[in-house]
């Protein structure tokens, strides 16, 4: 058993700094590189790609990234864990194998976690008595039958642990909790008992701190943000974990950013509900138990973490098609920039009304004035504001109404208030609205499966 | 004396469906006592008048000198349904830190 492992966060979402994983594995020695690629919206996008081409449906950045990092990871013995397999983890693993072959690597084992995709099983699951009711509204899932784009169960750390025990160098999963990616290597390396819920919670908390990449090492820091050094070369966080459940959050030396009590605390309170009940498939962690000690030198000790037994349910995230939306911007300049933008909005709304189009919502925001803080925004002195961007967005189940809206924007330039600019790129196009259906499913109804692919 | 919350606390906000989560962290123990005393559910709900259309939940994390608020029915439907410029409530922590309190 190792007495310490280093787990490095490589991506906080799909679209994060492309170079970050490379920096994490080259700037120092880490045992694991963990990369979270899956926001909720990502699953439906990937499902659409897979529908068009059965070889797609995973984070396409991964093969390209592997070209750069695999040789280093092989040399240093760094294992890679990612949920970037999306809705097609097997195809992702095959693409990575292809990269490895082309690099001349002759020994590689990839574990693929399957079984989270229940899109084709919904009827069967509903028939077995689990209604997959919406967690927020309690409506049964049949309400959106025929519109479902994707349906995936959130697995935890255990299937990844199984892959690591089978000797995997890389574990690629579909929908796995972000926290499970970090907890898994701790369970595996330290031989943790999965019913020791304090330890499960410790690894889960470490996962929560790593899952958004640099958001715990100085990024998006609302404290004294100007004091954070060298954000251009920000170091992503690393958890230095110990068998007793304590860990230190740090980053590689000679990178930018900062790891402090404040930067870690901001990430701990990010996207949480009741802090005593942080539910994952692995445990229910108590975030109120967490203690932080700023050791200085970009090192923060995290300890005293408590937790309880996991629930008997997995969370399911379904996405379904729910109409269309479009959004348009026009910029008005001084003098009376805000008054002009407001007048343009009134003209536009009157025209839309005359056209008798059908909208669920028409939303107007004045960027530069109230789009972030709404009515909390202070009255502005129009003499001192140089420009305001008018943003109007619409949503409807009716495609034609959204498309027609798009044709009413450019005319405002010649048939509305003066000193207007910023209309480029053609008419706003309708985009599909993807809505979410969070549900619970009894764990007994789903079984994760781990498949090994070897070179 | 009136101060802005921004002077004694920082924080971060994000989305949980159509609810926004706002975590507010005091820089020191004295600050934590001030935010605990001043940031009641009703005060926060009133502050976010015409932004938060649902219930406000409040939780304490004393070890972090932090409070966590869940603002329901706040993000215009949440996710990709929302037409809001800040559909994920990313700027709402800053919005709460605008609050002026008497100390």
What residues are paired with A150 via a beta bridge?
A: A319
DSSP H/E element including A90: helix A89-102
> Measured between beta carbons, which residues in chain B are less than 8 angstroms from residue A292?
63-64
Beta bridge mates, A307: A285
Lowest model confidence (mean pLDDT) among A9-18, A43-52, B9-18: A43-52
Asked if A438 reaches chain B (Cβ–Cβ under 8 Å), the answer is yes
Q: Tens digits of per-residue pLDDT, A182-209?
A: 999 999 999 999 999 999 999 999 999 9
How many of the other CB atoms lie within 10 Å of CB of A449?
A: 11
**Of B10, B78, B91, which is closest to A266 when you measure between CB atoms?**
B10
Categorize the per-residue pLDDT at A423 as very low, low, confident or very high, splitting at 50, 70 and 90: confident
pLDDT per residue as tens digits for the range B3-30: 999 999 999 999 998 999 999 999 999 9
Across the interface, which of A272, A363, A434 has its CB nearest the CB of B21? Answer: A272
What are the chain B neighbours of A434 within 8 Å (beta carbons)? 79-80
Quote ipTM for the complex: 0.98
Chain B residue with minimum CA distance to A290: B63
Contact A270 B21 (CB under 8 A): yes
Which of A201, A214, A265 is best to mutate for the B interface (most B CBs within 10 A)? A265
Q: What is the per-residue pLDDT for A24?
A: 98
What is the spatial distance between Cα A83 and Cα A152, in angstroms, rounded to a whole number?
12
Q: Which residue has the tokens 């906080």?
A: A12
Q: Crossing angle for the helix pair A261-268 and A197-210, nearest 10 degrees?
A: 110
Q: If you average pLDDT over residues A243-267, what whole number do you get?
A: 98
Q: At what angle do helices A61-76 and A89-102 cross, to 10 degrees?
A: 60
* CB atoms inside a 10 Å sphere around CB A417: 21
**In a 10 Å sphere around its CB, with 0-12 CB exposed, 13-18 middle and 19+ buried, how is residue A226 labelled?**
exposed
Domain limits of chain A?
5-116+154-311, 322-436
Q: What is the mean pLDDT of residues A435-439?
A: 93
Out of A41, A265, A391, closest to residue B79 by CB: A41
Which stretches of A186-235 are assigned E, i.e. beta strand?
Answer: none
Say which of B60, B81, B97 has its CB closest to residue A435.
B81
Give the mean pLDDT of chain A. 96
Query: Which band of pLDDT confidence, cut at 50, 70 and 90, is reported for residue A136?
Result: confident
Nearest CA in chain B to A434: B80
By C-alpha distance, the chain A residue nearest B99 is: A376
The residue-averaged pLDDT of A225-253 equals: 98
Residue A223 CB contacts under 8 Å (≥ 6 apart), including other chains: A262, A263, A266, B10, B27
Tokens 């020994």 map to which residue?
A107
Q: Does position A409 have pLDDT exceeding 80, yes or no? A: yes
DSSP string, chain B: -EEEGGGTEEEEEEEETTEEEEEEEESSHHHHHHHHHH--HHHHHHHTTTT--S-EEEEEEGGGTEEEEEESS-STTSTTT---TTTT-TTHHHHHHT-EEE-
A322-436: in CATH 3.40.50: no
CB atoms within 10 A of CB B83: 24
A276 vs B contacts (CB less than 8 Å): 59
Nearest to A287, CA basis, from A278, A298, A299 = A278
């Amino acid at each position: 058993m190792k007495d310490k492992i280093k787990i490095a966060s490589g991506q906080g979402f799909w679209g994060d700094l492309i170079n970050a994983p490379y920096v994490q594995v080259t700037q120092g020695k880490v045992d694991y590189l963990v990369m979270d690629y899956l926001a909720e919206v990502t699953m439906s996008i990937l499902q659409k790609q897979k529908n068009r081409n059965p070889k797609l449906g995973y984070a396409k950045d991964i093969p390209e990234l592997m070209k750069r990092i695999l040789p280093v990871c092989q040399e240093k013995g760094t294992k890679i864990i990612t949920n970037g397999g999306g809705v097609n983890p097997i195809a992702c693993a095959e693409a990575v194998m292809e990269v490895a072959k082309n690099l001349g690597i002759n020994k590689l084992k990839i574990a693929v976690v399957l079984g989270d995709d229940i899109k084709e099983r919904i009827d069967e699951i509903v028939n077995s008595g689990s209604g997959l009711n919406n967690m927020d509204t309690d409506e049964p899932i049949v309400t959106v039958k025929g519109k479902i784009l994707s349906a995936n169960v959130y697995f935890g750390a255990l299937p990844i642990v199984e892959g690591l025990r089978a000797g995997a160098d890389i574990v690629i999963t579909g929908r796995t909790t972000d926290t499970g990616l970090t907890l898994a290597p701790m369970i595996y390396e330290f031989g943790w008992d999965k019913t020791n819920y304090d330890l499960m919670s410790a690894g889960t908390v470490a996962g929560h701190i790593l899952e958004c990449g640099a958001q715990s090492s100085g990024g998006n820091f609302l404290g004294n943000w100007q004091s954070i050094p060298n954000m251009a070369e920000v170091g992503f966080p690393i958890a230095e974990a110990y068998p007793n459940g304590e860990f230190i959050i740090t980053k590689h030396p000679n990178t930018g950013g900062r790891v402090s009590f404040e930067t870690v605390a901001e990430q701990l309170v990010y996207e949480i509900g009741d802090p005593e009940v942080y539910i994952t498939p692995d445990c229910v962690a108590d975030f109120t138990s967490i203690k932080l000690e700023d050791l200085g030198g970009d090192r923060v000790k995290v300890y005293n973490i408590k937790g309880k037994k996991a629930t008997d349910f997995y969370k399911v995230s379904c996405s379904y098609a729910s109409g269309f939306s479009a959004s348009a911007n026009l910029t008005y300049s001084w003098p009376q920039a805000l008054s002009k933008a407001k007048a343009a909005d009134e003209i536009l709304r009157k025209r839309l009304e005359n056209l008798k189009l059908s909208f669920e919502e028409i939303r107007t925001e004045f960027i530069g004035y109230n789009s972030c803080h709404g009515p909390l925004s202070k009255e502005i002195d129009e003499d001192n504001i140089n420009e305001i961007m008018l943003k109007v967005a619409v949503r409807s189940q009716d495609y034609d109404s959204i498309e027609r809206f798009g044709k009413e924007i450019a005319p405002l330039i010649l048939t509305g208030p003066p000193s207007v600019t910023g209309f480029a790129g053609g008419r706003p196009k309708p985009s599909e609205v993807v809505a979410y259906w969070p549900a619970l499913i009894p764990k007994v109804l789903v079984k994760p499966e781990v498949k090994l692919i070897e070179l | 004396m009136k101060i802005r919350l921004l002077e004694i606390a920082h924080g971060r906000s994000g989305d949980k469906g159509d609810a926004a989560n706002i975590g507010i962290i005091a820089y020191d123990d004295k600050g934590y006592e001030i935010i605990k005393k001043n940031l009641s559910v009703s005060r926060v709900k009133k502050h976010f008048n015409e932004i938060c259309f649902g219930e406000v939940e409040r939780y304490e994390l004393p070890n972090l000198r932090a409070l966590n608020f869940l603002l329901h029915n706040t993000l215009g439907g949440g996710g990709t349904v929302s037409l809001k410029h800040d559909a994920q409530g990313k700027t709402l922590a800053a919005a709460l830190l605008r609050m002026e309190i008497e100390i």
